[in-house]
Structure 1
Amino acid sequence: MQTYLVAVGLMTMGLVLVALCVAAWFQGVEPLWSVILFGLLGVYMVFLGVDEGWLSGLEVTPSHLRIQSFGRWEEYPLTRIEAVDGLRDILGGGIQLVLLAAEGQAIRVPLRRYANAGPLAQALLDALWLQNKELVLMPRLARRLGQPPFGVFAAKKSGR
């Protein structure tokens, strides 16, 4: 529910900004390029709200991670991931995982949209751990979630 509120808020702010820019255009506000620039920012905010609420997705399998943004899916093999960190997401305040790949690529995985963000993060960490037993979890993420395996994709460690 919180995700949809953020999405509708972004869309509303974008529409208000576009309306103000159109009104400024007809009133002859100078410089004209500033009106156009802020109008384009408003259009971008509307698209960002639509993406945030309805066009984003996430799939975790034992071998791949698929992230949908603006209706387009990107697939990442989990074998390339060497380290994982967790950040606070500025939109909605949820957690965002940052996967660090071998070639220096950082893949951001926002989990704020999902009511099951904790189990989803654990599933992703289990899948990463299955692909790389030497996976490095940054200390703040390890304190928050613990160490894999969690029992989602991999069997839990005994003695826990």
Structure 2
Amino acid sequence: MRAQKITSRRSVQTYLMAVGLMILGLALLALCVAAWFQGVEPLWSPILFGLLGVYMVALGVDEGWLSGLEVTPNHLRIQSFGRWQEYPLARVEAVDRLRDILGGGLQLVLIGPEGLAIRVPLRRYANAVQLTQALLDVLWLKNRNLILMPRLARQFGSPPYGVLAATDK
């Protein structure tokens, strides 16, 4: 019996990258506070870079503990900063693969009509391959004419993979 829902699992790399972002953000914030008290001119520059440090800490917290992904036969759910967003998959016509800006993890782009594009960050999840195959299985079930871009097709082949769809093999 096949699973009805595939949920992301964080890996050691996910936590290392999250902690690294938080440490860098705190270091940048500490440098900016020190520069502020030393009277660096213009005064807005340590404020601006200090805000960047705060953003890096928040991004690290999101990356490590508040983000997630869930694939079911009916929808895709992406969690960011603790909030879930649900995306319907019926209108997706093509899928491409990119490298995520944070650490080079895998990222899928679901392409639909009229400029619809959904970015699916797989980051450094321990089960990124299984999540990708499950998502491609569901998309293939919704649209048998699904177009896989060449980079993605070379890496994974063509669906079904047997994660959320039956294989013909």
- The TM-score, its normalising length taken from structure 2, stands at 0.90
2:122 matched to 1:111? yes
Higher relative contact order (CA 8 A, sep 6+): 2
1:13-70 Cα shifts (integer Å, max 9, x gaps) = 1001111111111111000111110010000000000000000010001110000001
Paired residue for 1:66? 77
- Among residues 133, 140, 149, which one is paired with 2:151 in the alignment? 140
2:134 matched to 1:123? yes
Q: Does the 8 A contact of 1:2 with 1:92 survive in 2?
A: no
Paired residue for 1:42? 53
CA distance in 1, matches of 2:121, 2:77: 12
CA distance in 1, matches of 2:79, 2:50: 27
CA distance in 2, matches of 1:30, 1:92: 34
- Among residues 73, 77, 85, which one is paired with 2:88 in the alignment? 77
- Aligned residues: percent identity? 78
CA distance in 2, matches of 1:77, 1:8: 33
2:27 matched to 1:16? yes
One-letter amino acid of the counterpart of residue 67, structure 2 = S
CA distance in 2, matches of 1:18, 1:2: 24
CA RMSD of aligned residues (A): 1.1
Moved over 6 A (4+): none
Q: Does the 8 A contact of 2:89 with 2:142 survive in 1?
A: yes
- Deviation of the 1:113 alpha carbon: 3.0
Which runs of 5 or more structure 2 residues have no equivalent in the other structure?
Answer: 1-11
